[in-house]
Chains A and B, each alone.
Chain A
Protein backbone atom coordinates (compact mmCIF):
# COMPACT_ATOMS: atom_id res chain seq x y z
CA UNK A 1 0.00 0.00 0.00
CA UNK A 2 1.53 3.24 -1.08
CA UNK A 3 0.59 6.84 -1.39
CA UNK A 4 0.94 6.62 -5.16
CA UNK A 5 -2.77 6.56 -5.69
CA UNK A 6 -3.15 10.25 -4.94
CA UNK A 7 -0.74 13.13 -5.31
CA UNK A 8 2.26 10.88 -4.97
CA UNK A 9 4.49 13.60 -6.29
CA UNK A 10 3.51 15.91 -3.48
CA UNK A 11 4.26 13.25 -0.93
CA UNK A 12 7.69 12.57 -2.43
CA UNK A 13 8.46 16.26 -2.44
CA UNK A 14 7.54 16.51 1.21
CA UNK A 15 9.68 13.54 2.12
CA UNK A 16 12.65 14.95 0.23
CA UNK A 17 12.26 18.29 1.92
CA UNK A 18 12.10 16.65 5.31
CA UNK A 19 15.16 14.57 4.58
CA UNK A 20 17.26 17.51 3.52
CA UNK A 21 16.68 20.08 6.12
CA UNK A 22 15.61 18.63 9.36
CA UNK A 23 17.66 15.76 10.58
CA UNK A 24 20.49 17.89 11.89
CA UNK A 25 18.40 20.73 13.16
CA UNK A 26 15.99 18.63 15.08
CA UNK A 27 18.50 16.37 16.72
CA UNK A 28 17.36 16.30 20.30
CA UNK A 29 19.42 17.16 23.31
CA UNK A 30 19.06 13.70 24.70
CA UNK A 31 21.82 11.42 23.58
CA UNK A 32 21.83 7.69 23.53
CA UNK A 33 19.54 7.12 20.57
CA UNK A 34 21.27 5.96 17.46
CA UNK A 35 20.55 7.86 14.28
CA UNK A 36 17.87 6.35 12.15
CA UNK A 37 18.66 4.61 8.94
CA UNK A 38 16.87 5.02 5.63
CA UNK A 39 15.35 8.10 4.10
CA UNK A 40 13.37 10.83 5.79
CA UNK A 41 13.83 12.46 9.14
CA UNK A 42 15.29 10.32 11.88
CA UNK A 43 12.72 11.48 14.39
CA UNK A 44 8.99 11.40 13.94
CA UNK A 45 8.26 13.40 17.05
CA UNK A 46 10.44 15.54 19.26
CA UNK A 47 9.04 17.43 22.22
CA UNK A 48 11.20 19.87 24.15
CA UNK A 49 10.03 21.29 27.46
CA UNK A 50 6.33 21.05 26.71
CA UNK A 51 4.15 22.32 29.55
CA UNK A 52 0.42 22.60 29.82
CA UNK A 53 -1.73 23.78 32.72
CA UNK A 54 -5.48 23.97 33.18
CA UNK A 55 -6.01 26.87 35.49
CA UNK A 56 -3.64 26.13 38.35
CA UNK A 57 -3.44 22.41 37.66
CA UNK A 58 -0.36 21.36 35.80
CA UNK A 59 -1.16 18.61 33.30
CA UNK A 60 2.23 18.48 31.61
CA UNK A 61 5.37 19.78 33.23
CA UNK A 62 8.37 20.29 30.98
CA UNK A 63 8.03 17.11 28.94
CA UNK A 64 10.86 16.38 26.54
CA UNK A 65 10.86 13.23 24.53
CA UNK A 66 12.04 11.84 21.25
CA UNK A 67 10.32 9.25 19.11
CA UNK A 68 12.45 7.75 16.38
CA UNK A 69 10.99 7.10 13.00
CA UNK A 70 9.53 3.66 12.56
CA UNK A 71 9.35 2.97 16.25
CA UNK A 72 6.40 1.94 18.38
CA UNK A 73 6.52 4.16 21.44
CA UNK A 74 4.20 3.61 24.36
CA UNK A 75 3.31 6.27 26.86
CA UNK A 76 2.27 4.80 30.17
CA UNK A 77 1.51 6.14 33.60
CA UNK A 78 -1.15 6.13 36.28
CA UNK A 79 -4.53 7.80 35.71
CA UNK A 80 -4.18 11.55 35.47
CA UNK A 81 -0.50 11.34 34.61
CA UNK A 82 -0.99 13.52 31.53
CA UNK A 83 -0.87 10.88 28.82
CA UNK A 84 -3.97 11.99 26.97
CA UNK A 85 -3.03 15.63 27.44
CA UNK A 86 0.26 14.88 25.75
CA UNK A 87 -1.47 13.29 22.74
CA UNK A 88 -3.94 16.17 22.62
CA UNK A 89 -1.12 18.71 22.57
CA UNK A 90 0.64 16.84 19.79
CA UNK A 91 -2.57 16.66 17.77
CA UNK A 92 -3.41 20.31 18.33
CA UNK A 93 -6.53 19.90 20.43
CA UNK A 94 -4.74 21.60 23.32
CA UNK A 95 -2.20 24.39 22.91
CA UNK A 96 0.95 23.94 24.98
CA UNK A 97 1.79 26.85 27.29
CA UNK A 98 5.52 26.36 26.76
CA UNK A 99 7.87 24.20 24.77
CA UNK A 100 8.36 23.24 21.17
CA UNK A 101 7.04 20.42 19.08
CA UNK A 102 8.78 18.94 16.10
CA UNK A 103 6.44 16.80 14.02
CA UNK A 104 7.97 14.66 11.27
CA UNK A 105 10.97 16.93 11.04
CA UNK A 106 8.88 20.05 10.91
CA UNK A 107 9.01 22.52 13.74
CA UNK A 108 5.47 23.58 14.60
CA UNK A 109 4.88 26.28 17.18
CA UNK A 110 1.27 25.41 17.55
CA UNK A 111 -0.17 22.32 15.94
CA UNK A 112 -3.48 23.06 14.25
CA UNK A 113 -5.82 20.12 14.49
CA UNK A 114 -7.39 20.99 11.16
CA UNK A 115 -3.98 20.66 9.45
CA UNK A 116 -3.01 17.46 11.20
CA UNK A 117 -4.04 15.10 8.43
CA UNK A 118 -2.14 17.11 5.83
CA UNK A 119 0.98 16.97 8.01
CA UNK A 120 0.79 13.19 7.82
CA UNK A 121 -0.45 12.63 11.36
CA UNK A 122 -3.51 10.57 12.24
CA UNK A 123 -4.95 9.72 15.63
CA UNK A 124 -7.62 7.76 17.42
CA UNK A 125 -9.44 8.75 20.58
CA UNK A 126 -9.69 7.27 24.03
CA UNK A 127 -13.46 7.17 23.85
CA UNK A 128 -14.58 6.15 20.41
CA UNK A 129 -14.92 9.10 18.10
CA UNK A 130 -16.60 7.51 15.11
CA UNK A 131 -19.40 8.90 12.99
CA UNK A 132 -22.25 6.72 14.18
CA UNK A 133 -24.57 7.70 11.35
CA UNK A 134 -22.19 6.51 8.63
CA UNK A 135 -21.36 3.00 7.45
CA UNK A 136 -18.00 1.41 8.19
CA UNK A 137 -17.00 2.10 4.59
CA UNK A 138 -17.89 5.79 4.82
CA UNK A 139 -16.22 6.16 8.20
CA UNK A 140 -13.00 4.76 6.82
CA UNK A 141 -13.26 6.80 3.62
CA UNK A 142 -13.73 9.92 5.72
CA UNK A 143 -10.11 9.55 6.79
CA UNK A 144 -9.20 10.65 3.27
CA UNK A 145 -11.38 13.74 3.27
CA UNK A 146 -8.34 16.03 3.26
CA UNK A 147 -7.30 14.62 -0.12
CA UNK A 148 -10.53 15.51 -1.83
CA UNK A 149 -10.44 18.33 -4.34
CA UNK A 150 -14.00 18.20 -5.67
CA UNK A 151 -16.51 20.74 -4.42
CA UNK A 152 -20.14 20.33 -3.56
CA UNK A 153 -21.40 21.35 -7.00
CA UNK A 154 -19.33 18.85 -8.92
CA UNK A 155 -20.33 16.19 -6.41
CA UNK A 156 -24.05 16.86 -6.68
CA UNK A 157 -23.98 17.27 -10.45
CA UNK A 158 -21.69 14.27 -10.84
CA UNK A 159 -19.01 16.04 -12.90
CA UNK A 160 -16.34 13.70 -14.33
CA UNK A 161 -13.46 14.40 -11.95
CA UNK A 162 -15.61 13.55 -8.95
CA UNK A 163 -16.34 10.02 -10.07
CA UNK A 164 -12.65 9.25 -10.48
CA UNK A 165 -11.85 10.76 -7.10
CA UNK A 166 -14.68 8.81 -5.46
CA UNK A 167 -13.43 5.61 -7.06
CA UNK A 168 -9.85 6.12 -5.89
CA UNK A 169 -10.98 6.87 -2.36
CA UNK A 170 -13.40 3.95 -2.31
CA UNK A 171 -10.69 1.58 -3.50
CA UNK A 172 -8.20 2.83 -0.95
CA UNK A 173 -10.78 2.56 1.83
CA UNK A 174 -11.62 -0.98 0.71
CA UNK A 175 -7.93 -1.91 0.89
CA UNK A 176 -7.69 -0.65 4.45
CA UNK A 177 -10.96 -2.32 5.45
CA UNK A 178 -9.56 -5.55 4.05
CA UNK A 179 -6.26 -5.09 5.84
CA UNK A 180 -8.04 -4.81 9.18
CA UNK A 181 -10.39 -7.71 8.49
CA UNK A 182 -13.51 -5.57 8.41
CA UNK A 183 -14.71 -6.56 4.93
CA UNK A 184 -17.75 -8.38 6.25
CA UNK A 185 -18.99 -5.21 7.93
CA UNK A 186 -18.38 -2.61 5.21
CA UNK A 187 -21.99 -1.59 4.75
CA UNK A 188 -23.05 -1.75 8.37
CA UNK A 189 -23.74 1.41 10.29
CA UNK A 190 -20.80 1.79 12.59
CA UNK A 191 -23.02 2.42 15.62
CA UNK A 192 -24.42 -1.10 15.29
CA UNK A 193 -21.02 -2.80 15.59
CA UNK A 194 -19.66 -4.28 18.83
CA UNK A 195 -17.13 -2.20 20.71
CA UNK A 196 -14.03 -4.14 19.69
CA UNK A 197 -14.85 -3.75 16.00
CA UNK A 198 -15.59 -0.06 16.44
CA UNK A 199 -12.12 0.39 17.86
CA UNK A 200 -10.79 -1.35 14.78
CA UNK A 201 -12.82 0.91 12.48
CA UNK A 202 -11.29 3.89 14.17
CA UNK A 203 -7.84 2.47 13.55
CA UNK A 204 -8.81 1.93 9.91
CA UNK A 205 -9.96 5.53 9.59
CA UNK A 206 -6.60 6.67 10.92
CA UNK A 207 -4.58 4.29 8.74
CA UNK A 208 -6.41 4.92 5.49
CA UNK A 209 -4.62 8.20 4.86
CA UNK A 210 -1.29 6.41 5.09
CA UNK A 211 0.02 8.64 7.87
CA UNK A 212 3.66 8.90 8.83
CA UNK A 213 2.83 9.28 12.51
CA UNK A 214 -0.05 7.49 14.20
CA UNK A 215 -1.22 8.54 17.66
CA UNK A 216 -3.36 5.96 19.44
CA UNK A 217 -5.07 6.99 22.66
CA UNK A 218 -5.80 3.74 24.48
CA UNK A 219 -6.52 1.62 21.41
CA UNK A 220 -7.12 -1.45 23.57
CA UNK A 221 -9.09 0.02 26.45
CA UNK A 222 -11.92 -2.21 27.53
CA UNK A 223 -10.95 -5.09 25.28
CA UNK A 224 -10.66 -8.76 26.09
CA UNK A 225 -7.23 -10.37 26.06
CA UNK A 226 -7.90 -11.88 22.64
CA UNK A 227 -9.04 -8.58 21.19
CA UNK A 228 -5.99 -6.88 22.66
CA UNK A 229 -3.57 -9.26 21.04
CA UNK A 230 -5.46 -8.91 17.75
CA UNK A 231 -5.19 -5.14 18.01
CA UNK A 232 -1.50 -5.34 18.85
CA UNK A 233 -1.10 -7.54 15.78
CA UNK A 234 -2.79 -4.90 13.61
CA UNK A 235 -0.59 -2.14 15.01
CA UNK A 236 2.50 -4.20 14.31
CA UNK A 237 1.31 -5.12 10.81
CA UNK A 238 0.46 -1.51 10.05
CA UNK A 239 3.97 -0.49 11.03
CA UNK A 240 5.45 -3.20 8.86
CA UNK A 241 3.37 -2.30 5.79
CA UNK A 242 3.63 1.45 6.05
CA UNK A 243 6.53 3.69 6.80
CA UNK A 244 4.85 4.34 10.08
CA UNK A 245 5.73 5.58 13.55
CA UNK A 246 3.29 4.78 16.33
CA UNK A 247 2.83 6.58 19.63
CA UNK A 248 0.29 4.88 21.81
CA UNK A 249 -1.15 5.14 25.28
CA UNK A 250 -1.90 1.86 26.99
CA UNK A 251 -2.58 0.67 30.50
CA UNK A 252 -1.92 -3.01 30.03
CA UNK A 253 1.76 -3.41 30.90
CA UNK A 254 1.90 -6.85 29.36
CA UNK A 255 0.74 -5.51 26.00
CA UNK A 256 3.02 -2.51 26.26
CA UNK A 257 6.12 -4.55 26.97
CA UNK A 258 5.42 -6.95 24.12
CA UNK A 259 4.56 -4.31 21.54
CA UNK A 260 6.82 -1.34 22.15
CA UNK A 261 10.35 -0.51 21.14
CA UNK A 262 10.37 2.40 23.49
CA UNK A 263 8.42 3.26 26.61
CA UNK A 264 7.91 6.66 28.21
CA UNK A 265 6.47 6.83 31.71
CA UNK A 266 4.61 9.88 32.98
CA UNK A 267 3.49 10.64 36.50
CA UNK A 268 1.82 13.85 37.64
CA UNK A 269 2.64 15.47 34.30
CA UNK A 270 6.35 14.78 34.53
CA UNK A 271 8.41 12.22 32.68
CA UNK A 272 9.83 9.77 35.18
CA UNK A 273 11.35 7.19 32.85
CA UNK A 274 12.20 6.76 29.19
CA UNK A 275 13.87 3.81 27.52
CA UNK A 276 13.50 0.27 26.33
CA UNK A 277 10.69 -1.80 27.85
CA UNK A 278 13.16 -3.84 29.89
CA UNK A 279 14.91 -0.77 31.26
CA UNK A 280 11.66 0.94 32.15
CA UNK A 281 10.31 -2.16 33.79
CA UNK A 282 13.29 -2.32 36.12
CA UNK A 283 13.28 1.37 36.90
CA UNK A 284 12.59 1.93 40.62
CA UNK A 285 10.89 5.28 39.94
CA UNK A 286 8.35 3.54 37.70
CA UNK A 287 7.67 0.87 40.24
CA UNK A 288 7.15 3.50 42.91
CA UNK A 289 4.78 5.49 40.73
CA UNK A 290 2.67 2.47 40.00
CA UNK A 291 2.43 0.63 43.27
CA UNK A 292 4.22 2.77 45.76
CA UNK A 293 6.80 0.13 46.59
CA UNK A 294 9.52 -1.84 44.89
CA UNK A 295 7.71 -5.15 44.81
CA UNK A 296 7.65 -6.52 41.27
CA UNK A 297 5.47 -5.09 38.52
CA UNK A 298 5.29 -8.12 36.33
CA UNK A 299 1.51 -8.45 36.31
CA UNK A 300 -0.91 -7.30 33.71
CA UNK A 301 -3.48 -4.62 33.99
CA UNK A 302 -1.79 -2.15 36.26
Chain B
Protein backbone atom coordinates (compact mmCIF):
# COMPACT_ATOMS: atom_id res chain seq x y z
CA UNK B 1 0.00 0.00 0.00
CA UNK B 2 1.08 3.55 -0.70
CA UNK B 3 0.37 6.30 1.78
CA UNK B 4 -1.35 9.14 0.01
CA UNK B 5 -1.51 12.51 1.74
CA UNK B 6 -5.12 13.75 1.47
CA UNK B 7 -5.93 17.38 2.21
CA UNK B 8 -9.42 18.88 2.41
CA UNK B 9 -9.44 22.45 1.08
CA UNK B 10 -12.08 25.11 0.78
CA UNK B 11 -12.57 25.96 -2.89
CA UNK B 12 -11.27 29.47 -2.33
CA UNK B 13 -8.47 31.46 -3.84
CA UNK B 14 -5.07 30.72 -2.31
CA UNK B 15 -5.96 27.66 -0.24
CA UNK B 16 -4.01 25.18 -2.40
CA UNK B 17 -1.08 27.57 -2.59
CA UNK B 18 -1.04 27.93 1.20
CA UNK B 19 -1.08 24.16 1.74
CA UNK B 20 1.74 23.65 -0.79
CA UNK B 21 3.74 26.45 0.79
CA UNK B 22 3.37 24.86 4.23
CA UNK B 23 4.75 21.57 2.88
CA UNK B 24 7.51 23.29 0.92
CA UNK B 25 8.69 25.35 3.86
CA UNK B 26 8.95 22.20 5.95
CA UNK B 27 11.04 20.55 3.21
CA UNK B 28 8.55 17.94 1.97
CA UNK B 29 9.11 17.17 -1.71
CA UNK B 30 5.98 16.31 -3.69
CA UNK B 31 6.03 13.68 -6.41
CA UNK B 32 2.45 14.01 -7.63
CA UNK B 33 -0.65 16.01 -6.86
CA UNK B 34 -4.16 15.48 -8.14
CA UNK B 35 -7.06 17.71 -7.26
CA UNK B 36 -10.68 16.60 -7.03
CA UNK B 37 -12.82 19.71 -6.93
CA UNK B 38 -16.45 20.54 -6.31
CA UNK B 39 -18.21 23.90 -6.21
CA UNK B 40 -17.31 24.60 -2.59
CA UNK B 41 -14.45 22.31 -1.65
CA UNK B 42 -11.58 20.34 -3.13
CA UNK B 43 -9.52 17.35 -2.06
CA UNK B 44 -5.81 17.33 -2.88
CA UNK B 45 -4.34 13.84 -3.21
CA UNK B 46 -0.61 14.00 -2.89
CA UNK B 47 2.39 11.70 -3.00
CA UNK B 48 5.15 13.29 -0.99
CA UNK B 49 8.06 12.30 1.20
CA UNK B 50 7.27 11.11 4.74
CA UNK B 51 3.48 11.39 4.29
CA UNK B 52 2.64 10.68 7.96
CA UNK B 53 4.84 13.55 9.06
CA UNK B 54 3.41 15.80 6.35
CA UNK B 55 -0.15 15.05 7.45
CA UNK B 56 0.70 15.79 11.07
CA UNK B 57 2.34 19.06 10.07
CA UNK B 58 -0.71 20.19 8.09
CA UNK B 59 -3.16 19.08 10.79
CA UNK B 60 -1.18 21.07 13.32
CA UNK B 61 -1.39 24.09 11.00
CA UNK B 62 -5.19 23.80 10.98
CA UNK B 63 -5.77 21.78 7.82
CA UNK B 64 -7.97 18.73 7.59
CA UNK B 65 -5.21 16.37 6.44
CA UNK B 66 -4.81 12.61 6.71
CA UNK B 67 -2.96 9.68 5.22
CA UNK B 68 -5.04 7.39 2.99
CA UNK B 69 -3.85 3.95 1.89
CA UNK B 70 -4.03 3.58 -1.90
CA UNK B 71 -2.70 1.06 -4.43
CA UNK B 72 -0.21 2.01 -7.16
CA UNK B 73 0.23 -0.27 -10.17
CA UNK B 74 2.99 0.00 -12.79
CA UNK B 75 1.56 -0.45 -16.30
CA UNK B 76 3.03 -0.10 -19.78
CA UNK B 77 2.87 3.45 -21.15
CA UNK B 78 0.90 2.19 -24.15
CA UNK B 79 -2.73 2.05 -25.32
CA UNK B 80 -4.76 -0.24 -23.03
CA UNK B 81 -2.46 -0.03 -20.00
CA UNK B 82 -5.15 1.41 -17.75
CA UNK B 83 -8.09 -0.30 -19.49
CA UNK B 84 -6.62 -3.75 -18.82
CA UNK B 85 -6.13 -2.93 -15.15
CA UNK B 86 -9.66 -1.57 -14.70
CA UNK B 87 -11.23 -4.49 -16.54
CA UNK B 88 -9.42 -6.84 -14.20
CA UNK B 89 -10.76 -4.92 -11.18
CA UNK B 90 -14.26 -5.03 -12.61
CA UNK B 91 -14.02 -8.73 -13.35
CA UNK B 92 -12.76 -9.42 -9.82
CA UNK B 93 -15.67 -7.50 -8.27
CA UNK B 94 -13.49 -4.66 -6.98
CA UNK B 95 -15.13 -1.26 -6.80
CA UNK B 96 -12.78 1.60 -7.62
CA UNK B 97 -13.58 4.60 -5.42
CA UNK B 98 -11.28 6.91 -7.36
CA UNK B 99 -8.12 6.77 -9.43
CA UNK B 100 -5.56 8.82 -11.27
CA UNK B 101 -2.52 8.17 -13.41
CA UNK B 102 0.80 9.66 -14.29
CA UNK B 103 3.56 8.71 -16.74
CA UNK B 104 7.05 7.85 -15.63
CA UNK B 105 9.31 8.26 -18.65
CA UNK B 106 8.44 6.98 -22.13
CA UNK B 107 7.77 3.34 -21.20
CA UNK B 108 5.95 3.26 -17.89
CA UNK B 109 2.91 4.76 -16.23
CA UNK B 110 1.67 4.52 -12.64
CA UNK B 111 -2.05 4.04 -12.05
CA UNK B 112 -3.19 4.93 -8.53
CA UNK B 113 -6.43 3.41 -7.28
CA UNK B 114 -8.46 3.57 -4.11
CA UNK B 115 -10.45 0.38 -4.00
CA UNK B 116 -13.32 -0.33 -1.65
CA UNK B 117 -12.92 -3.19 0.82
CA UNK B 118 -10.02 -5.47 1.69
CA UNK B 119 -7.72 -7.76 -0.27
CA UNK B 120 -7.42 -5.79 -3.52
CA UNK B 121 -3.64 -5.74 -3.40
CA UNK B 122 -3.39 -9.51 -3.12
CA UNK B 123 -5.85 -10.04 -5.96
CA UNK B 124 -3.92 -7.68 -8.23
CA UNK B 125 -0.61 -9.35 -7.40
CA UNK B 126 -2.17 -12.75 -8.13
CA UNK B 127 -3.45 -11.34 -11.41
CA UNK B 128 0.14 -10.59 -12.38
CA UNK B 129 0.08 -6.82 -11.95
CA UNK B 130 3.24 -5.01 -10.97
CA UNK B 131 2.55 -3.21 -7.67
CA UNK B 132 4.68 -0.22 -6.83
CA UNK B 133 6.31 -0.12 -3.41
CA UNK B 134 6.17 3.05 -1.33
CA UNK B 135 9.93 3.58 -1.33
CA UNK B 136 9.93 3.59 -5.11
CA UNK B 137 7.84 6.78 -5.06
CA UNK B 138 8.78 8.76 -2.00
CA UNK B 139 11.17 8.84 0.92
CA UNK B 140 9.60 6.84 3.73
**A pairs with B:** no
Residues of B bordering A, CB below 8 Å: none
